Structure 1
């Protein structure tokens, strides 16, 4: 194992992030954003904002109105004093509850695009001895990183320098050059550590970079400008994991074997309308929407995957493990439900369906072995298992939960087996699995971002609830020995934990959770 060079700095609070950047003469800006997605500035009155001590300018940019000040506090107070009239004629005004009802209705209709098709699903379902049906609901999710969005822009002569936690530096360089009217070679990006990214700093429209560069340009490039978002800006700023509905029908024969699987999804595309549409969207199918379903490793002869691309004005984005965050939950809980309906053990059924996929089998068997699958547990405890591949890495997880007399439960232990090819740094692999499990567990337990009449309801960690430290389970990670090419570990630990926990909960209580988060699903 190799020691990380930044561990000491992070542990002692000495690591510098974008929020820590200080340049001579630097000004700080905060942007007043529209309260509704799609709204624009109609007019604004800067007088009260300019009267705040420390405010040096108020300028309109493409994404709102920026209050520029000598320090953060002055920028915040100036923005509070600012008067802006918004044009909401083209804004998204539907709430998440209304959108969910529209999605559920759309899920009853044929999909507009077919992502995968094999055999005759309709005939297989019609002739099935038993059909297992389920409809799943997934909420919007915020990235909720500890460091809100921020960036610093400074034009020194012919060179424009930008400091930030850039996850798409090439794109940001091109966008910044266009705004500044200079050659991209004249744009220098300083890529800093991020206080959490999870995909939020890889934005196809370069949002925070646009704000920093446009603000610096609007004041005549006279000083470096740091644009800083508050927690509330970050939570209500869009770019969420999309809202999704899955409707699944699985046909079984008399012996409990799967004879047909029909899978329909309704949700927003992350990539349609972005620079990546030409590369990653084909025939109306956004690969990030259906990944984990259309490429399932399970041997199912009659299989059909459909997608309905919802048209919604809420900005969405990849969120740690992207489409796998919802597709894995559906696939792995449905497989578990099929096992229960056919009287099969969940691991044995997976072994049969994965017989042609040795990597998946190895991960499944290792996780089951280390968890003691099939052995008795004390009363009130139960196990659930899930196996999923994402970003070239196969991860199997067994969740062990304990239920209490009040109907609640705690995830006490997660056993993780991972095949990521050659493990360059095993300690880093283990760390990423642990972090991914905690990240994914918080999401399935109680994270949900909602909108009312187009306005985001949650603003901070009091209402949007990532995992609390007392909820973090004991995690054991086992790496499958391999000499294959290394693959990703930053995201693949996330997808299996949700279905593993849900399957354990079903084993303990007979309750199937199909509305996420689990806290909401249990009370539905």
Structure 2
């Protein structure tokens, strides 16, 4: 098997797309998907296709006596029990419950009665909206808003038609409620379970399905029109959508049910753990396993190209065996790379003009005539995902079949990768997807799967690979290091007259999905957040320099580039406000004449926070507002800074407009979780490189926010009536500038680089 490089070189050009591939929202045929697909130890190259067949027409009707399967998403038993096949992975965001609400609303049932199952790999059926089964980019609700409601509506229409036929009445005279069809005039009723045999003999109605929209990186909300023959409910009639119902799986989690990939237990299963080269790009030179093989329970030591694994009867024996190995590494070409080298390279790259993302008006002229001007550099560090559930994968390889048990954000890609590594056909690979104990983009990657398969091929029974926390921290695919240069100016009235922003950093898409980079050669993720400034900017130029750190693998990290771009945007807006002598809220309002939704969240959060009220000495209040994944957020942070320079975030308030909130409780939970997740990079965690190695290894030196560090958080959900948009990553993107702006308000010190160091804020008086 040939494994292509993990990262593109700086001189590599992305594959060119054909004219047909450039049509619409960068859609790609399934043929191109297979042609473009590649595999590496750290991930894969993938393309995206847009299915055209309605998913509910692709499953054959069940014969009488078996559960009714009116479509690929539902099974209804004679007892009325409903199983919902969830097309997206749940990694704590509550997406299974929220999508069940979409179906249940139109089906007229209680979503709490649903049994949830993970969808099997099947892109044409479950790859909504992008054509690939991928959970990420805050796209789940935005992409499933119409299709899942259609699933419920079409199924309901079939049940009503079956009852109408049996009772010989007009279907329009029937109504449904809580899983029952009623004919009030005839005083008749039929539970859904009693109609399944009749429905199984029917053909589903033909649906004119709306096109599948590509939500990854485009920041757009879906259209609201519906083109099919089954009418959806008017929002004013919603009974389930908009309700903060509990998560369907909550009881199982409280009971400690084995939901996650790491919980898998199989007969005869062995357990492995692994140690990869400590230096990026290094290879295994030699290993002495004599001591390891003497440890009770150790079965075998497996050598890989850049790693070595110990397989044992249980994890403790495998871990002890790994520690007993005597390993010699060929450190390769990156053994001397350190953070200072990477930053120096980025700074040099920032001196050259990049690929132009936006160029409107005459920013150079505007800056030249500005009454006040800001020139600055912003830096953000490498970050690890540090998911709470350690990375793991269980595999059983047979001559004619491979079975995989894991928690993945991409089950269909997992199937294809497993087929490539084993030499089997995709249909010979079964993927059992599980709940994810944290994803944040980490479980988009295939490195752990590839390792697990290569190890399991040495045995005729299942092998579970579990990474240690040290292995995870030191062999992640990190949020890129960003080094951005900005210039902006205001006139004497405080109006922005010029704005330039040069983004410099790694291109994750160039590695993960190069087919998405077409003729403009611009990473669509890198520009997310700068294409959709909410502000009135007439003279603006944004360009992007793709600069890869030598050897360091980079990947998607919660919020992706919109997080880094929002930090730069909202920090610069704050700097301009103070340069103009304006209140930060009023300055932003002055530049939001066109974007009413952005202005609304700004005004709401400022009101709730009591903006303008004096703060005691050593305390400050900061604000940020932006459009993130199609949603609008306004956020205020209140901080206190001690004389020693220690910062405590005391309160964070957020107003959010994500369109129609399917489950407002989930929206609030996601904002709260995103804020807590995003606070760590401000103060605590950063990945640093020295001699080609990651210096951090566990939670003692890669720290996360503890309960004692968590501020009071208040979230205010604004219902604008628009179609739903993304929410899972928004809080993380917004909290960094809100906090750093608050620190400036408390100390007068502007922070353009995170994490914040106490010595930078220490007062000498």
Q: Please state how far the C-alpha of 1:341 moved relative to its aligned partner.
A: 0.5
Tell me the distance in 1 between the aligned counterparts of 2:518 and 2:565. Answer: 18
Tell me the distance in 1 between the aligned counterparts of 2:401 and 2:538. Answer: 59
| Alignment match of 1:511 (pick from 727, 743, 749) | 749
| Alignment match of 1:459 (pick from 692, 697, 700) | 697
| Alignment correspondent of 1:139 | 381
| Alignment match of 2:303 (pick from 39, 60, 80) | 60
| Alignment correspondent of 2:26 | none
Q: Please state how far the C-alpha of 1:234 moved relative to its aligned partner.
A: 0.5
Tell me the distance in 2 between the aligned counterparts of 1:93 and 1:225. Answer: 36
Secondary structure at the residue paired with 1:496?
A: helix
The answer to whether 1:36 aligns with 2:274 is: no
Q: Please state how far the C-alpha of 1:63 moved relative to its aligned partner.
A: 4.6
Secondary structure at the residue paired with 2:332?
A: coil
| Alignment correspondent of 1:292 | 529
| Alignment correspondent of 2:546 | 309
| Alignment correspondent of 1:130 | 372
| Alignment correspondent of 1:201 | 443
| Alignment match of 2:562 (pick from 320, 324, 331) | 324
Secondary structure at the residue paired with 1:386?
A: strand
Q: Please state how far the C-alpha of 1:439 moved relative to its aligned partner.
A: 0.5
More strand as a share of residues = 1
Secondary structure at the residue paired with 2:574?
A: helix
Q: CA RMSD in A?
A: 1.9
Question: Structure 1 residues 459, 58: closer, same or farther in 2, change over 3 A?
Answer: same
Structure 1: give runs of 5+ residues left out of the alignment. Answer: none
CA contact 1:114–1:307 (8 Å) conserved in 2: yes
Deviates more, 1:291-300 or 1:339-348: 291-300
Tell me the distance in 2 between the aligned counterparts of 1:144 and 1:42. Answer: 29
| Alignment correspondent of 1:404 | 642
Deviates more, 1:302-311 or 1:233-242: 302-311
Q: Please state how far the C-alpha of 1:224 moved relative to its aligned partner.
A: 0.1
The answer to whether 1:175 aligns with 2:413 is: no
TM-score (norm 1): 0.94
Tell me the distance in 1 between the aligned counterparts of 2:436 and 2:500. Answer: 41
Tell me the distance in 1 between the aligned counterparts of 2:417 and 2:759. Answer: 42
Tell me the distance in 1 between the aligned counterparts of 2:642 and 2:266. Answer: 55
Secondary structure at the residue paired with 1:176?
A: helix
Secondary structure at the residue paired with 1:134?
A: strand
The answer to whether 1:493 aligns with 2:740 is: no
Q: Please state how far the C-alpha of 1:12 moved relative to its aligned partner.
A: 4.9
| Alignment correspondent of 2:490 | 252
Q: Please state how far the C-alpha of 1:18 moved relative to its aligned partner.
A: 1.7
Tell me the distance in 2 between the aligned counterparts of 1:94 and 1:349. Answer: 43
| Alignment correspondent of 2:601 | 363
Secondary structure at the residue paired with 1:289?
A: coil
Q: Please state how far the C-alpha of 1:282 moved relative to its aligned partner.
A: 5.0
TM-score (norm 2): 0.65
| Alignment correspondent of 1:216 | 456
| Alignment correspondent of 1:377 | 615
| Alignment correspondent of 2:706 | 468
The answer to whether 1:118 aligns with 2:118 is: no
Deviates more, 1:192-201 or 1:288-297: 288-297
Deviates more, 1:277-286 or 1:23-32: 277-286
Q: What per-residue deviation string (whole Å, max 9, x for no partner) do you get for residues 83-119 of structure 1?
A: 3332333446311122112222332x12231121112
Deviates more, 1:132-141 or 1:376-385: 376-385
Tell me the distance in 2 between the aligned counterparts of 1:373 and 1:254. Answer: 25
Q: Please state how far the C-alpha of 1:406 moved relative to its aligned partner.
A: 3.4
The answer to whether 1:4 aligns with 2:244 is: no
| Alignment correspondent of 1:480 | 718
| Alignment correspondent of 2:669 | 431
The answer to whether 1:415 aligns with 2:653 is: yes
Secondary structure at the residue paired with 1:427?
A: helix
Q: What per-residue deviation string (whole Å, max 9, x for no partner) do you get for residues 242-264 of structure 1?
A: 11111111122232321111111
Deviates more, 1:405-414 or 1:302-311: 405-414
Tell me the distance in 1 between the aligned counterparts of 2:555 and 2:335. Answer: 17
CA contact 1:63–1:211 (8 Å) conserved in 2: no
Tell me the distance in 2 between the aligned counterparts of 1:501 and 1:29. Answer: 42
Secondary structure at the residue paired with 2:666?
A: helix
Deviates more, 1:172-181 or 1:147-156: 147-156
Tell me the distance in 1 between the aligned counterparts of 2:609 and 2:280. Answer: 46
| Alignment match of 2:345 (pick from 87, 95, 102) | 102
Tell me the distance in 1 between the aligned counterparts of 2:455 and 2:717. Answer: 48
Q: Please state how far the C-alpha of 1:491 moved relative to its aligned partner.
A: 0.8
| Alignment match of 2:514 (pick from 277, 280, 283) | 277
CA contact 1:513–1:521 (8 Å) conserved in 2: no
Which protein is bigger by CA-based radius of gyration?
Answer: 2
| Alignment correspondent of 2:195 | none
CA contact 1:132–1:251 (8 Å) conserved in 2: yes
Tell me the distance in 2 between the aligned counterparts of 1:360 and 1:392. Answer: 11
Tell me the distance in 2 between the aligned counterparts of 1:16 and 1:68. Answer: 24
Q: What per-residue deviation string (whole Å, max 9, x for no partner) do you get for residues 139-159 of structure 1?
A: 101111111110001135633
Tell me the distance in 2 between the aligned counterparts of 1:341 and 1:182. Answer: 63
| Alignment correspondent of 1:231 | 469
Question: Structure 1 residues 273, 281: closer, same or farther in 2, change over 3 A?
Answer: farther
Tell me the distance in 2 between the aligned counterparts of 1:401 and 1:12. Answer: 38
Tell me the distance in 1 between the aligned counterparts of 2:734 and 2:759. Answer: 18
Q: What per-residue deviation string (whole Å, max 9, x for no partner) do you get for residues 49-70 of structure 1?
A: 3232212112223552222111
